[in-house]
Amino acid sequence: MKLQALKSTLLVSLFSSLFLLTACNPTVTRVDSDSVTDLSGKWNDTDSRLVAEEMIQDVLSRGWLSKFNRAKGKAPTVIVGTVRNLSHEHINTRTFIADMERELINSGEVEFVASAKDREEIRSEVKDQDLNATEASRKSMGNEIGADFMLQGSINTIVDAVSGEQARFYQIDLTLIELGTNRKVWVGQKKIKKTVEKGGFRL
């Protein structure tokens, strides 16, 4: 009788352990990278991609581009500068900048040069080649292409919350500035508003 009770106890313990192990393991589902997964209401990859696509389409459709093409007889060279995060939450602006760089390059309307941080690594490689690479293959300093325009911007947020409900308002401002003259040739703005209902969100 005691042996039967011991076996029953062991079985219950075993099933309980298996249940706990199963409950602790997360369920992972692969989804399309372009699908919208707005779980928290905060800035996410979908916001970054859609805002970048819309704003780059807008900047390339404005008159500054055709004026430059007529005056210079070539495509303008653009660089993306700083996008400041002035919001109340952590936003990876580097991802947003990368989305805009992709849209600019793939448009075929402009030439594009590396960022200041990227240029540091490239210049270090060119210096190394000057000492170690063969004469036929080494690249010389002083052949970089200067940018004609820099794209800068900021991301701001306003949060309004009451009784477990929250409204999040994002405003993205971008400015295209002509280098040398500091003339603003384009100013773009995109607004996003989200509502988050009760569900344990945190400000």
Q: How far is the C-alpha of 9 from the C-alpha of 151, rounded, in Å?
A: 69
Helix (H, G, I), strand (E, B) or coil at 181: coil
Angle at 88 between CA 78 and CA 153, to 5 degrees: 15
Which CATH number applies to 43-115+146-196? Answer: 3.40.50.10610
**What's the predicted TM-score (pTM) here?**
0.75
Residues 6+ apart with CB under 8 A from 67: none
Residues 6+ apart with CB under 8 A from 98: none
Q: What is the pLDDT of residues 70-111, one digit of tens each?
A: 999 999 999 999 999 998 888 889 999 999 999 999 999 999
pLDDT for 203: 45
Q: How far is the C-alpha of 187 from the C-alpha of 149, rounded, in Å?
A: 13
Contact 68, 201 (CB under 8 A): no
pLDDT for 80: 92
Indicate if the pLDDT at residue 202 is higher than 60.
no
Report the range out of 1-5, 33-37, 96-100 with the highest average pLDDT. 96-100
